[in-house]
Homo-oligomer: A and B are copies of this chain.
Amino acid sequence: MFSYQIDENLKLMLSQQHQAEVITKVVLENLEQLKLWMPWAKDDYSIDSARAFIKANLTEYAKNGSFSASIILEETFVGGVGFHNLDLKNKSAHIGYWLAKEAQGKGIMTRCCRVLFNYLFDDLGLNRIQINCNIENVKSRAIPERLGFKLEGIHRQVEWLNEEFRDWAIYAMLKQEWKK
- The residues of A with any CB-CB pair to B shorter than 8 Å are 1-5, 12-14, 16-18, 39, 55, 58-59, 61-63, 65, 69, 89-92, 119, 123-124, 127-128, 130, 150, 152-160, 165, 170, 172, 174
Contact = CB atoms under 8 A, between A and B. Distances in A.
A2 B2 contact: yes
A58 B3 CA distance: 15
Contacts of A154: 152-153
Contact of A61 (B5, B13, B62, B157): B62
Given A2-B13, A59-B62, A65-B17, A155 B152 contact: yes
A123 B1 contact: yes
A18 B120 CA distance: 12
A128 B62 CA distance: 27
B5 A4 contact: no
Nearest to A115: B1
Contact of A91 (B18, B61, B156, B160): B160
Nearest to A128: B157
B1 A119 contact: yes
Nearest to A62: B58
23 contacts: A1-B4, A1-B12, A2-B4, A2-B14, A3-B3, A3-B4, A14-B14, A16-B65, A16-B123, A18-B124, A39-B89, A89-B160, A91-B160, A91-B165, A127-B157, A127-B160, A128-B156, A130-B155, A152-B153, A153-B153, A153-B154, A153-B170, A158-B172
